[in-house]
């Protein structure tokens, strides 16, 4: 059993506090709106007199600015702060310095499940910052999810987190576009879903459609073979997708942006290469 203080009791923070309690830890809770602590206190948590209570502070707030406002001028000597709030990598690096100036250590984090998934199989969290500090409390944090350490740079956890979210949001949005498109022909989303699931499974697997592996290897080598399936062909095909969506009376903002990216990479001389060559345009914003 260990002691942990949870700061920020929205849906995510409350779920964390409940999970810590269920795992047998001594849990102290604090929120800027004090009444949000009441349900957790009724379940066995202790209400903190102030936010800087205890040695391990797990913070779940909307943004890093909330941490500054909550902790104010409090000293943090000997304390480890594990912050799962959202921000940019540079904000997290700045926050690490802010915490250090007050005598504490910041471990940054990005949890990759919604509140109902906390403490469940398959949940994982990216952590970055001082590994010694993370190792000291890994046994406690494992109650929330698998602990995945990605490096000393405090900005890395958020970079990994946002990279995953970018794929998550893009994938879900593309499915909504696809379902809306076939829906104009009377196809139910649940009827189309197995095809989408199959495609995503193939992309993650080995084989001719295993493009996550294919792209990662090409990105590392910097060589983008296009003999069998050129980027120019993809740009033309993406233009047809946009035309089809428009003809079906659907919104086209995201597909149009993708088409513009492909077309720009083609115009910049990558048309004879494979689709992975698009990364060269991504790395050099126009």
The predicted structure's pLDDT at residue 138: 97
The predicted structure's pLDDT at residue 286: 72
The predicted structure's pLDDT at residue 176: 98
* Domains of the chain in sequence order: 3-152 (3.40.50.720), 160-282 (1.10.1040.10)
Cα–Cα distance between 29 and 16 in angstroms, integer? 10
Cα torsion through 158, 163, 164, 169, rounded to 10: 120
Percent of the chain as helix, strand, coil, to the nearest 5: 55, 15, 30
Is the CB of residue 130 less than 8 Å from the CB of residue 157? Answer: no
The tens-digit pLDDT sequence of the chain (286 residues) is 689 999 999 999 999 999 999 999 999 999 999 999 999 999 999 999 999 999 999 999 999 999 999 999 999 999 999 999 999 999 999 999 999 999 999 999 999 999 999 999 999 999 999 999 999 999 999 999 999 999 999 999 999 999 999 999 999 999 999 999 999 999 999 999 999 999 999 999 998 999 999 999 999 999 999 998 899 999 999 999 999 999 999 999 999 999 999 999 999 999 999 999 999 999 998 7
The predicted structure's pLDDT at residue 27: 98
Which of 258, 254, 245 has its CA nearest to residue 180? Answer: 245
- CB contact set of 97 (below 8 Å; sequence gap of 6+): none
The predicted structure's pLDDT at residue 172: 97
Strands 124-128 and 105-111 come out as antiparallel
């Amino acid at each position: 059993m260990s002691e942990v203080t949870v700061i920020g009791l929205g849906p995510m923070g409350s779920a964390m506090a409940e999970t810590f309690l269920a795992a047998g830890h001594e849990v102290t809770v604090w929120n800027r709106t004090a009444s949000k602590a009441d349900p957790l206190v009724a379940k066995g948590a202790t209400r903190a007199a102030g936010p800087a209570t205890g040695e391990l502070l797990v913070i779940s707030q909307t943004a890093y600015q909330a941490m500054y406002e909550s902790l104010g001028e409090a000293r943090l000597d000997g304390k480890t702060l594990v912050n799962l709030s959202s921000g940019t990598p540079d904000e997290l690096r700045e926050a690490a310095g802010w915490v250090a100036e007050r005598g504490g250590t910041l471990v940054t984090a990005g949890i990759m499940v919604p509140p109902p998934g906390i403490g469940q199989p398959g949940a994982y969290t990216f952590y970055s910052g001082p590994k010694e500090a993370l190792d000291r409390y890994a046994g406690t944090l494992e109650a929330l999810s698998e602990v995945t350490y990605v490096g000393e740079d405090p900005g890395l956890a958020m970079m990994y987190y946002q990279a995953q979210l970018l794929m998550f949001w893009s994938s879900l949005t593309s499915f909504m576009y696809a379902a809306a498109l076939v829906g104009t022909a009377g196809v139910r989303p649940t009827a189309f879903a197995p095809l989408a699931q199959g495609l995503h499974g193939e992309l993650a697997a080995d084989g001719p459609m295993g493009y996550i592996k294919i792209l990662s290897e090409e990105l590392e080598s910097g060589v983008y073979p296009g003999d069998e399936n050129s980027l120019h062909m993809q740009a033309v095909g993406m233009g047809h997708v946009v035309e089809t969506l428009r003809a079906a009376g659907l919104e086209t903002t995201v597909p149009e942006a993708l088409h513009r990216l492909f077309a720009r990479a083609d115009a910049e001389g990558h048309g004879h290469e494979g689709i992975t060559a698009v990364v060269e345009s991504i790395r050099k914003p126009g």
